[in-house]
Amino acid sequence: MRKYCLVLFVCLFVGISALPAWSFMPTYPDDKEFDMCAKIHNWEECAKDEMQRALRVVKQQYRTILTTPDIMKWHPSADENVVVLRDMYDSWTAFRTRLCSLSNKAATYMETLVEEKTSCNLYYVLHHRDHLNSILLLMTRKAPSNRQEFGFLKIYDHDDEYQTCIENKEKNCIESELQRSNKIIKNYYKTFLEDEFVGKWNNGPDLKQGNYRDMYDSWVAYRNRMCSLAVWAYQSFYGAKSMDLPTCLQFYNREKLETMDHLLVVAHSALDDAHELDEDPSDENHIFTTEKDDGGLAEGQTITPLEHRIDAGTSNLDDKLVTDETKQEEPKAEEPEEKYDIPEWAR
């Protein structure tokens, strides 16, 4: 399989507020309030204010979605729509909180330009806002009539197995790729848990409990609900064949793979550079001080364990996090038999 090729950008915060200091993520323009604030206060304080404004927009978007007449075509019950969207918001919040905590820990050994947790949270709030806005454009019939002009989900390179599948005119190519990416994501979590620098961030004994389990579960629940809503809205506007659930799920999987890959690179990059330069990590004049080198335990302890686990929301996807005990239950990626229709609860 072709390895996912990723590029690590250096971010320069000149008039840019929403980019994590080490990230490959796209930039967002500052709003007017941020620009005014930045003339008087520091970046982090202004960025936190901007995030609060963006969060208020996100919450208003959820309310607007609920009051849009077409929403009753998604679920015939208003109460069910409220429950599903509330679960989507809660799972997104839980996932974002944990991811940005881990990102903050991974960047501990780097001389970041800004506070990582703030920039990470701001990015994901703006990212979610933009995706919800695209869904609202579809629901309110304001999207471009030409589907090619509506760049809701970015185009990504498929893996080699997918390309071979298409060339051989086989069926279920995207479903097979989705199964493969699911498996890679689960393996990333095992790698993170066993890593000497970010393993203790889990604040738990294994993948059955702790921050990594909570982050994975909340991300899966968010991804499935988001794609159920997005695919329904897309098909309602552009037609039944314009978008399918596996393609949307794979889009979010690819984002997840890129994020996990970069987190692991960042957690080691500065330390690797130090070893190459024969620098002493214990030198108090160096950025690697002994109090920082806690393996992530202190950062992980700041995350409250999930008390209520939101169900993944679909019965036909394998969303169990792989452990040594459950590895034998992993479905074979080369033999996908299940259909990835929109689940019953999301129709």
How confident is the model over 249-305, as pLDDT tens digits? 999 999 999 999 888 888 876 554 443 434 443 434 333 333 445 667 888 888 888
Residues facing residue 16 across a β-bridge: 29
User: Cα(270)–Cα(22) distance, rounded to whole angstroms?
Assistant: 11
pTM, rounded to two decimals: 0.78
| DSSP code string of 180-206 | HHHHHHHHHHHHHHH-TTTSGGG-SSB
Nearest to 115 by CA among 95, 126, 100: 100
DSSP for residue 343: P
User: Cα(286)–Cα(279) distance, rounded to whole angstroms?
Assistant: 8
User: Cα(197)–Cα(193) distance, rounded to whole angstroms?
Assistant: 9
The pLDDT value given to residue 27? 57
* Most trustworthy range by pLDDT among 27-31, 133-137, 323-327: 133-137
Determine contact, residues 193/214, Cβ cutoff 8 Å: no
Determine contact, residues 92/310, Cβ cutoff 8 Å: no
Q: What confidence tier does 119 reach under pLDDT thresholds 50, 70, 90?
A: confident
User: Cα(35)–Cα(21) distance, rounded to whole angstroms?
Assistant: 19
Domain-by-domain residue ranges, the chain?
32-346
CA angle 277, 282, 287 (to 5 degrees): 70
Nearest to 18 by CA among 51, 53, 57: 51
User: Token pair of 130, please?
Assistant: 């933009």
